Structure 1
Amino acid sequence: MGDVDALKVAKRRVYKNIIVLGLAFLLNFSSYITAQALQSSINLEEGLGTTGLAVLYGVFVVSNLFLPKFCIRNFGCNYTIAISFIGYAAFAAANLYATWWTIILGATLCGLSAGPLWTSQSTYVTQIGRAYSSDSGELCEDVYTSIINVLAGAIGGNIASSVLLANVDNTTYVPVTELVRCGADFCPADYNATNDHLTRPPQETIQILMVIFIALNILSSILVIVFLDKIDYDKKEESSKAHPWENNEKTPLMNSENKRNETRNNSAASFDYDVSGHFKVRPGNDCDSSVKVVITANDHTEKAGIDVIPEEKVTSSGKLTGSVKALSTKVGNEDQIKLSWAERLRPELLIATVKLMIDVRLMLIIPLSLLSGMLHGFSTAELTQSYVGCREGIWMVGYIAMAAGVAATLVSMAIGKIKSVARGVSFITAIVMSAASLILALVWKDLHAELYILFIISCLVGAGDTALEMGLSTTLGIQFIDHNEAAFANLKLWQSVGSAVTFAYSTYVCMYIKLYIMLAVLAVGTVCIILLEIINWRNRRSYKML
């Protein structure tokens, strides 16, 4: 098989896995997003729905720090994703009979599943993109953009499919005295049950919806187990093949552990070096670790189990040019490679995540990560309750969510086509649309106006949130290429914090105050992301001058 044919096969397999993963997320989040969007309306009494969501995202923060590394190491990305989908089914099951203990229990199980799910998904997609980029020569950023575009479109599309499940009829008349309390002036703490638009649908209708949701969660889990190619972190294959997908092998090239093993067996690099300097040698394109080599004037080289032999002698200029080969790599006892359960349970991702927080680049990304979570909370709880449910009724929630899904899909596809400046376009789109949606929601007082205003707000929120998610994911995947898991864990951590805080104060704070808070976070995040781009530009400029 020629190189061109091999690349075609690799590309087909990459997109096959992305389609399978996207379809699985489509099914799973068709269930979850609809159930989540209805919480603030169907479980309005005493703030049960929003409290459950606050617990869910609070647990998400904890699970995101402690569980992903453990789950990925022991179960692999595939089974971690599949098992996590079952955790989402528990949230739907809790709504079959909504009480405080069922909702809190279901939210806790879903939150525990969310951390490993999103880290596994991000790790899987990033490694697929990096592997194909390495083989094809395409820029990693181009691959990340196209892949995340597919997933963002799928997740946006699943909201559109949810309308078929959330169409609960509730078209009663509400007096003007109640409508004026909707929108930005809606205060859940002062709410009374005189607005029939927010009356809970019949229990039988809710149970039918939740049974369908549970079936979708289970189907998505089966889809991943059966059709998604595996990445086995613990499998240590030694192969000299150019591509492991030949001969129907299922373990992709992007496996980090396999890269390290391949490096131990065949490591070579050509470069110019000083006679007595310390150098980092990266045998592969994306090797996770580096080797420090010490070369002295008498050609003696030593470094903890690695022998390096220069091909040429020192020249009169004090330099020598050649290649070095690692003849032996002593990694210690096999028991040190196979980690014990105690070692596997160590919160390594927590440590890596916290360490990464002191990186200035990540600090500058945190405000927009928080905003992403807050926008998610706004679109799934605040908008559906304060604007849609209060003004039109719960039956309209699905249609408004459909508009957001369509807008998100179109925006993600459009941004993905502009490959050369995709990150910049993502952030500009996110900032402009998010600001427009929040300002419009704040100033719109005439709720007797045409219904299309609600659709415009929903579309702006959906498009802005999706563009922001694409920009953040792509930026982290490129900025922290050697620390993907910790970087994506930080993203989900701060998104979860934003969502949890939004849901936590949802019952106690009026809508206009929430809008001002989000606008303030947006302003800070915009300044920070501009500073990050300036830092990156200066670093690239300095590198070119060397």
Structure 2
Amino acid sequence: MPETSVIFGTNEKWRINRNILVLGFAFMVHFTAFHGTANLQSSVNSDAGAGAFTLAAIYFSLILSNILLPAVIIKWLGCKWAVAVSFIAYMPFIAAQFYPKLYTLVPAGMMVGFGGGPLWCAKCTYLSVVAEPYAKLSGVSAEVLVVRFFGLFFMFYQMAQIWGNLISSAILSSNLGESPKVLNETSSSLDALFSNVTAAPTIDFGATCGVNFCSASASHGNSNLEPPSALKIQVIAGVFLACMAAAVLLVAVGVDSLTRYTAGRNTACQGKSGFRLLLVTLKQLRHKYQLLLLPVIGYIGAEQAFMAADFTQAFIGCAYGISNIGYVMICFGVFNALAAPIAGALVKVTGRFPVMVTALLLNVCLLSALLSWRPEPQQWLVFYALAAIWGTADAVWLVQVNALSGILFPGNEEAAYSNFRLWEATGSVLSYATAPYLCVRTRLYCLVGFLIVGFIGYSTIEFMEYKVKKAHHLERNFELVNKKTENEALRKPRDDDEEY
């Protein structure tokens, strides 16, 4: 076939590397826009809980999308164009920020979820397939190359959290849309500053922010929760729409079609779709290990939703200012990106359980601090420290539980990862959907309970695996001793015969 001659061309390794780099860069540009917008939803679009309901709609439709759409869309369009079209499905979410109402935001959020399933499946398929011809050209095993390609891709993807929040915070911190102060007003404020008149009492942010925040209450008594000017939101939406359009063009022009590297193999998502995948996913729940993993998977989704909706609004936005949300979330993204490879390296040295215990302790300390802390604007360093701890713990949970899902169910990885996506998204949906109705204190207690139940389930799996390995080790030693005894028994008559 013509694809074969192209695959083994002299510059094909460079071409495959270019495809991966362009794909990773396109995802970075695209999710720069998405993360930068999503992190502001609960704070900027707080009327009637529109922002929280929009995020819930995204993850609810993502559950349906992962079950029903990936194989069908990729079969119709191929991986390259499935990525490009899925990028376009995210754009109404950004466009809805020009007119942010509940009836515009929620349908746009549903579009994001429906695009998300085919998008991530197409990306995984593309990286896995191009590793095969690269392995033939380089002599490196395809398994090693898949890990390398995914690592390179996620290096770009994790940077999206940084750039998206940096752009949004830079625009929100500017003077766009704010009326300039009149000279007389400025001079009068300076006179008041140097006068002997007693200053106005300082606002007690801790009384209404942080753990005491209830989004159902309209009167929070501080200006930090006032939405930014409409012009700032429109500028942010315009910049992010341009980013998404650029990402579509990057994939359309800079990425080769996967048919170049398939040479007759099926390019669709390597697995079942629709109700067959749902059936396999639910059938997997008969496995005791899968049931024990569900609470910790649900906790991962719930804690990520709490970070995106409650921490940004009740802690950062309420006490530190909406314009500073992005800067604090940059810190979260940096530590999240750094902790994932470091935790992976530590697992090789210490084993998985000590690393998971460390993540548990970090989360317990973090949630305890949030329950007792009364946030104030001058405590800016605490916001960044909490975000850094959260990013570190989240990376450990996400990477290690994902890896554990593959390790525990060899041959059934598809069903295991489908369950992971399903229950993680379910945890996120429940957290986002209840955000407008439950106060932060109640939600934190729920998270603590979720964390404890989840870690007990995970620890039970480790204990059961330890018992199985110990029993297997003893059985193996017993077999070796038996074989040794039998060999000695066979040799003895021979020696006796010689003496006789």
Q: Which TM-score applies when normalising by structure 2?
A: 0.77
**C-alpha separation in 1, matches of 2:471 and 2:16:** 35
**C-alpha separation in 1, matches of 2:306 and 2:241:** 25
* Letter matched to residue 30 of structure 2: N
Match of 1:49 in 2: 51
**C-alpha separation in 1, matches of 2:71 and 2:103:** 29
Q: CA deviation at 1:69?
A: 2.7
Contact 2:63/2:425, CA 8 A, preserved across alignment: yes
Q: CA deviation at 1:508?
A: 0.9
Match of 2:262 in 1: 251
Is 1:528 the counterpart of 2:453? The answer is no
Equivalent residues in 2 for 1:262-411, closer than 5 Å:
346-411=274-339
Q: Which of 160, 166, 184 is the matching residue for 2:211?
A: 184
Match of 2:243 in 1: 216
Equivalent residues in 2 for 1:441-480, closer than 5 Å:
441-445=370-374, 447=376, 450-480=379-409
Match of 2:448 in 1: 519
Contact 2:409/2:416, CA 8 A, preserved across alignment: yes
Q: Which of 152, 169, 186 is the matching residue for 2:173?
A: 169
Q: Which has the larger radius of gyration?
A: 2
Q: Which structure 1 segments of 5+ residues have no match?
A: 1-5, 233-248, 261-287, 289-343
* Letter matched to residue 242 of structure 2: A
Indicate the SS of the match to 2:58.
helix
**C-alpha separation in 2, matches of 1:138 and 1:416:** 20
Q: CA deviation at 1:468?
A: 1.8
Is 1:68 the counterpart of 2:70? The answer is yes
Indicate the SS of the match to 1:166.
helix
* Letter matched to residue 168 of structure 2: A
**Percentage of pairs with the same residue:** 26
Q: Which TM-score applies when normalising by structure 1?
A: 0.71
Q: CA deviation at 1:65?
A: 1.6
**C-alpha separation in 1, matches of 2:34 and 2:457:** 32
Q: Which structure 2 segments of 5+ residues have no match?
A: 1-7, 179-199, 480-500
Distance 1:164 1:445, change over 3 A: closer
Is 1:203 the counterpart of 2:205? The answer is no
Q: CA deviation at 1:186?
A: 0.8
Is 1:158 the counterpart of 2:86? The answer is no
**C-alpha separation in 1, matches of 2:122 and 2:59:** 18
Equivalent residues in 2 for 1:422-437, closer than 5 Å:
427-437=356-366
**C-alpha separation in 2, matches of 1:126 and 1:532:** 30
**C-alpha separation in 1, matches of 2:383 and 2:52:** 21
Q: CA deviation at 1:231?
A: 4.5
**C-alpha separation in 2, matches of 1:9 and 1:415:** 36
Q: Which of 9, 18, 21 is the matching residue for 1:19?
A: 21
Deviation string 1:132-180 (CA, Å, 9 cap, x unpaired) is 899968695x767655544444333211112332121389999424442
* Letter matched to residue 240 of structure 2: F
* Letter matched to residue 221 of structure 2: T
Q: CA deviation at 1:537?
A: 4.7
* Letter matched to residue 163 of structure 1: N
Distance 1:42 1:448, change over 3 A: closer
**C-alpha separation in 2, matches of 1:480 and 1:226:** 39
The structure with the largest helix share of the pair is 2
Match of 1:115 in 2: 117
Indicate the SS of the match to 2:40.
helix
Match of 1:496 in 2: 425
Q: Provide the aligned length of Structure 1 versus Structure 2.
A: 439
**C-alpha separation in 1, matches of 2:295 and 2:372:** 24
Q: CA deviation at 1:54?
A: 1.3
**C-alpha separation in 2, matches of 1:90 and 1:451:** 34
**C-alpha separation in 2, matches of 1:363 and 1:136:** 41
Deviation string 1:382-420 (CA, Å, 9 cap, x unpaired) is 111000000111110110011111111211232344573
Match of 1:83 in 2: 85
**C-alpha separation in 1, matches of 2:83 and 2:443:** 33
**C-alpha separation in 1, matches of 2:133 and 2:299:** 31
**C-alpha separation in 2, matches of 1:521 and 1:131:** 44
**C-alpha separation in 2, matches of 1:436 and 1:118:** 33
- Select between 346-355 and 118-127 the one with higher mean Cα deviation: 118-127
Q: CA deviation at 1:53?
A: 1.2
Aligned alpha-carbon RMSD (Å): 3.6
Match of 1:319 in 2: none
**C-alpha separation in 2, matches of 1:148 and 1:523:** 31
Match of 1:3 in 2: none
Distance 1:351 1:483, change over 3 A: same
Q: CA deviation at 1:71?
A: 2.1
Q: CA deviation at 1:223?
A: 2.7
Is 1:412 the counterpart of 2:416? The answer is no
**C-alpha separation in 2, matches of 1:13 and 1:482:** 32
- Select between 161-170 and 369-378 the one with higher mean Cα deviation: 161-170
- Select between 409-418 and 373-382 the one with higher mean Cα deviation: 409-418
Distance 1:252 1:520, change over 3 A: farther
**C-alpha separation in 2, matches of 1:541 and 1:137:** 35
**C-alpha separation in 2, matches of 1:11 and 1:438:** 48
Match of 1:313 in 2: none
Match of 1:505 in 2: 434
Match of 1:58 in 2: 60
Distance 1:426 1:29, change over 3 A: farther
Distance 1:350 1:69, change over 3 A: farther
Contact 2:206/2:212, CA 8 A, preserved across alignment: no
Distance 1:380 1:534, change over 3 A: same
- Select between 143-152 and 429-438 the one with higher mean Cα deviation: 143-152
**C-alpha separation in 2, matches of 1:495 and 1:70:** 23
**C-alpha separation in 2, matches of 1:133 and 1:518:** 44
The structure with the largest strand share of the pair is 1
